[in-house]
Amino acid sequence: MTFRATVLTLYPEMFPGALGHSLAGRALDDGAWSLEAVQIRDFAEGRHRNVDDTPAGGGAGMVMRADVLARTIDAASPKGDDRPRLLMSPRGKPLNQKRVRELAGGGGAVILCGRFEGVDQRVIDARGLEEVSVGDYILSGGEPAALVLLDAVVRLLPGVMGNEASGTEESFETGLLEHPHYTRPQEFEGLTIPEILTSGNHARIAAWRRDEARKLTAERRPDLLPRSAQPVTK
């Protein structure tokens, strides 16, 4: 089954962008997934094809119109299309690896890229949009966030990664950050590869990697650890 991604945007020329290269690009060429970028402005009416208007109640900026977005969504995702409808938004639920795997296991996604001050709440409610955030910061629009989401999803599609184990031994897959990595040369600027990694003892290597992953997670992302395992602060 091909993963079908439909992106609703004011800047369709931004796609596939980086997704046209490397693993995602090869998978796109091979038909493992498909990408359609839909111009929102095509569904606006009037001489100027306005897609936004001033916010009700006053305030700075502009808001994307519910009627224009509803027509865009309905055309891109007609009745019977059960793909999730996502809205890239800084106020959305943070994207995590669990949600990425869920999306990769489905038939695709319809992704709305917000712009300006945001999207009229009525279309979010009426079209059942799932708001998704890629971090606690503000971008100029939802397009870069959509590229991030799709990159995370596409690499997990069957056959995209050469070594399927790569997708199960990474940060967040086990609830921990990934352990440190090393490769040749044996010595670099006076720093050497930890001896245990060249010992050939796979059980000891696995235990070392687990321990290092826990230490790194406790240091950098203690919020990922179970409450009982989080460092005590005074």
In this predicted structure, the answer to whether residue 96 has a pLDDT above a threshold of 70 is yes
Residue 7, exposed/middle/buried by CB under 10 A (0-12, 13-18, 19+)?
buried
Residues 6+ apart with CB under 8 A from 227: none
pLDDT tens, position by position, 105-154: 999 999 999 999 999 999 999 999 999 999 999 999 999 999 999 999 99
- Identify the CA nearest to 71 among candidates 35, 112, 34, 132: 112
- C-alpha dist (Å) from residue 135 to 1, 50, 69: 30, 29, 24
* Res. 229: pLDDT tops 70: no
Question: Residue 160 has what pLDDT?
Answer: 97
pLDDT at residue 170, as a whole number: 65
Span 153-195, pLDDT tens digits:
999 999 999 766 455 566 678 789 999 999 999 999 999 999 9
Whether the CB-CB separation of 37 and 15 falls below 8 Å is answered with yes
Candidates 119, 98, 86; CA nearest to 5 is 86
List C-alpha distances in Å: 43 to 66, 73, 128, 165, 194. 11, 10, 19, 44, 59
The secondary structure element, H or E, covering residue 153 is: helix 142-154
Q: Could you give the 3-state DSSP secondary structure of residue 38?
A: strand
Helix, strand, or coil (residue 7): strand
Distances in Å between the Cα of 18 and the Cα atoms of 28, 126, 151, 233 are: 12, 32, 9, 42
The domains located in the chain, with CATH, are: 3-154 (3.40.1280.10), 171-229 (1.10.1270.20)
Q: pTM, whole model, 2 decimals? A: 0.90
Q: Is the pLDDT reported for residue 22 higher than 90?
A: yes
> Please, which contacts does 12-21 make with residues 24 or more away whose CB atoms are closer than 8 Å?
12/37, 12/38, 12/39, 13/37, 14/143, 14/147, 15/143, 15/146, 15/147, 17/147, 18/147, 18/151, 19/147, 19/150, 19/151, 19/154
Percent of the chain with pLDDT strictly greater than 70: 93
E-assigned strand segments in the chain? 3-9, 33-39, 52-53, 63-64, 85-94, 108-113, 130-133, 187-188, 191-192
- What's the average model confidence in pLDDT over 27-43? 98
